[in-house]
Structure 1
């Protein structure tokens, strides 16, 4: 096995206009968005990526059959736009791997003729959020007006630690390869899988790409999460009142 192996299922040279990355991350926000779009658009899987930079483990299916971790490349051909999707099991388990994998993904996008890269993720704030913002970062300041018009915001000092992993590197490294890059990050507590934040990111992304998908299933998951969050808040409030009564 090589450091990184890319296995294509077809020898098609079909081009793509944009790349949408939704690998696992904080709140699984980007992963939820990209996988929802893939399913709703009935995108076709065209390649798998295996690497020694993924965690040293195998994953088990419902039948107990083991397989190596993999990331996947999908392609959607629409009337006015074609999309390459990057999703999968893991990001790199090492700093070196992050750079090498990002370089591989960008090479694949470049060969497909991609001009713009969208990276999706969650912005962990460490607490429950009522009014979720979608924060943005771009590879070129000329993209800011377009992104703000779609509903995302730019804030000074957020995220404070920069953008870690594929979502950041695809933007930074993509500049040298001539890509436009936009990162969309939905606010999330970071403690739970967050379809509420994912729904907000999907809304902004749809406006930017002009690609609308049925968000019903994602909204249903978001509603379930909102109900769960409300129960957690009520439980915390009840526990707090009990503690106050005990102290008094």
Structure 2
């Protein structure tokens, strides 16, 4: 058992980032976000990324005001539900979230993520998300989309065979991160995979990881995630239940609608 104490504490308003070690990031650097939303796509993807590529836990996020009083315990070690991991090449940070954000936490936590990325000199924030489709059960090949806050962020994905997200709504933490990044000219690339709305979707998470691998160069073997898909669905159904409630409060189903068009 390894119980670390933090060496740095960085606060943004009432959101605190605790770092267990000083890290100098290589470039290009990426902050990969896995906040629970539709199909738990990002949450499943980043958790799998952190565990299967031997990423190292280097920090946590906490907020007595905005986060629920929850401690996650793994191998007898207590942790915040919001954890930061780094890869061996020290150019990829992954934010793993084991609990959904409440609606009151969305703005302060999301804006703190953008500010933290800016302070750390992160080149790209990459948001992994599901986009719910009503006929998900019938879809064999999932469609992927991308959305970028800057031209530079769009450059790193434009050569891949992925559709741009041209019209619609984005709801929840990723919406705030996208808006804040655009306002501040910070590179945020959002990857959206067709998914279930309120059922864990490991297949969509695997698709997101394959795209992430092409963008960042990190090697991720998703075969185990696909082989154990049914087990993953069972293991994460409580997180999905909590997330479903949070999504409902955020009106996440707006993403299934089209905005008003003006001609």
User: If the length of structure 1 is used for normalisation, what is the TM-score?
Assistant: 0.75
With over 3 angstroms needed to count, the CA separation of the structure-2 counterparts of 1:154 and 1:82, relative to structure 1, is same
- Where does 1:20-99 land on structure 2 (aligned, <5 Å)? 20-51=32-63, 52-55=65-68, 58=70, 70-78=81-89, 82-95=91-104, 97-99=105-107
Instruction: Tell me, yes or no, if the aligned pair for 1:54 and 1:91 is still in contact at 8 Å.
Output: no
Q: 1:139 aligns with which of 149, 170, 174?
A: 149
Aligned residue among 210, 232, 237 for 1:203: 210
Match of 1:7 in 2: 18
Alignment counterpart, residue 102 of structure 1, candidates 102, 110, 113:
110
The residue number in structure 2 matching 1:114 is: 122
User: What secondary structure sits across from 1:150 in the alignment?
Assistant: coil
State the partner residue of 1:245: none
Q: CA deviation at 1:219?
A: 2.2
- Is the 2:72–2:79 Cα contact (8 Å) retained in structure 1? no
Q: In structure 2, do the counterparts of structure 1 residues 149 and 75 end up closer, same or farther at CA, with 3 Å as the change threshold?
A: same
The match for 1:218 is 225
Structure 2 vs 1, CA of residues 77 and 170 (structure 1 numbering), >3 Å: closer, same or farther?
A: farther
Which has the higher Rg, Structure 1 or Structure 2? Answer: 1
Aligned-residue Cα RMSD (Å) equals 2.9
Following superposition, the deviation at residue 71 of structure 1 comes to 0.6
- Is the contact made by 1:91 and 1:166 (CA closer than 8 Å) also made in structure 2? no
Instruction: Please report the TM-score for the alignment, with normalisation by the length of structure 2.
Output: 0.71
What's the secondary structure of 2:163's corresponding residue?
coil
Alignment partner, residue 235 of structure 1: none
Q: Could you tell me whether the CA contact under 8 Å between 2:149 and 2:185 is conserved in 1?
A: no
Q: Residues of 2 paired with 1:77 and 1:143: CA distance?
A: 24
Q: Which residue of 1 aligns with 2:164?
A: 154
Please tell me whether residue 194 in structure 1 is matched to residue 204 in structure 2.
Answer: no
Structure 2 Cα separation of the partners of residues 94 and 27 of structure 1? 18
The Cα shift of 1:146 comes to 4.2
Cα distance in 1 for partners of 2:85, 2:156 equals 26
CA distance in 1, matches of 2:50, 2:198: 25
Aligned length: 216
CA distance in 1, matches of 2:80, 2:107: 18
SS of equivalent residue, structure 2 residue 214: helix
Separation in 2, partners of 1:193, 1:166: 18
| SS of residue matched to 2:62 | strand
Deviation, structure 1 residue 133: 0.6
Structure 1: runs of 5+ lacking an equivalent: 227-248
